Structure 1
Amino acid sequence: MNDFTLHPQLEADTHFVADLALCSVRLMNDARYPWLMLVPRRADIREVYELDSHSQHQLWHETTLLGELLMQLSDGEKLNIGTLGNVVSQLHVHVIARSSDDATWPGPVWGVGRPKAYDNEALTTLIDTLRMKIAELPTYSF
């Protein structure tokens, strides 16, 4: 049985986009960067190695699919992927498309400046676009 619940901080900082075979796809509420977060829907998981082998493969597959999609939609120059978890220990993967003209290039996005929330129209448009593109992705799992 899987008693997955999303950590309250992740809930507060992100917007739901879609569910994939393993992960909930969330949009970080920071319009400075094209930034998705993937949260495996498994209870009490803090680290990738705590997932079974099948789920580890699925996590990487979903991460790379969403990374490629985000790069295409944003015309990014570099894809940043990270699983820091220093503030929120629940396993989550940050997928961020970076550009040399973004707010903190070439430095990290964490802890620099203040997040800029999306306005309602931009948020709705982006989430609708992401959902449409995600629906077109291959649906297989490992």
Structure 2
Amino acid sequence: MKINERLVNDSEHIANLCLSELRLIRDGELDWFMLIPLKDGLTEWFELSHEDQCKLSEEITLVSKLLKSEDITKVNVGSLGNVVSQLHIHIIGRKSSDRAWPNAVWGTQSPNPFNMERVEYWREKFSKEL
């Protein structure tokens, strides 16, 4: 299964889950994850089997709960696919003090550089959960 090049270039691998690869977007302010179901040719949620839809929901819940255990205000979950059509789900930990709050973060840039220490932090956190 090949993941879209843009998704790979914009993010770091965190973990392989049952259905999806979990990646962290290189954002210097927000913990912004992507779940990418490892099934060929999918662009829409409804193209997943019922079983895979349930599995993806479980994976979204896992990531959301770990994010919520951090110092965040709200967990945002979305699947747009307007730029990259390959099915992928964004899960973003938002803070009321972040750069776009209360608006959407799409199209905004972090004022801070990405810290690679976040990758190791999240890899370790997820390895304890899996």
- TM-score category (smaller protein): over 0.9
Tell me the residue number matched to 1:53.
50
How far apart in 2 are the matches of 1:117 and 1:56? Answer: 35
Q: Which amino acid aligns with 2:44?
A: E
Change (3 A) 1:132 1:113: closer
- 1:134 maps to 2:130: no
| CA deviation profile, 1:102-142 (whole Å, cap 9, x unmatched) | 01000001012467541xxx31x2222212221222x5xxx
Q: Which amino acid aligns with 1:87?
A: V
TM-score for the superposition, normalised by structure 1: 0.86
- 1:63 maps to 2:60: yes
Q: Would the aligned equivalents of 1:29 and 1:115 in 2 still touch at CA under 8 Å?
A: no
Identical aligned pairs, as a percentage?
37
- 1:111 maps to 2:107: yes
How far apart in 2 are the matches of 1:115 and 1:89? Answer: 28
Q: Compute the RMSD of aligned alpha carbons.
A: 1.4
Q: Would the aligned equivalents of 1:32 and 1:115 in 2 still touch at CA under 8 Å?
A: yes
How far apart in 2 are the matches of 1:116 and 1:44? Answer: 35
Alignment equivalent of 2:80, drawn from 81, 84, 87: 84
- 1:95 maps to 2:119: no
| CA deviation profile, 1:34-83 (whole Å, cap 9, x unmatched) | 1111100111000110000111001010011101112213x111110000
TM-score for the superposition, normalised by structure 2: 0.93
How far apart in 1 are the matches of 2:33 and 2:111? Answer: 14
- Following superposition, the deviation at residue 13 of structure 1 comes to 0.7
How far apart in 1 are the matches of 2:111 and 2:84? Answer: 17
Tell me the residue number matched to 1:31.
28
Structure 2: which 5+ runs fail to align? none
How far apart in 2 are the matches of 1:66 and 1:113? Answer: 23
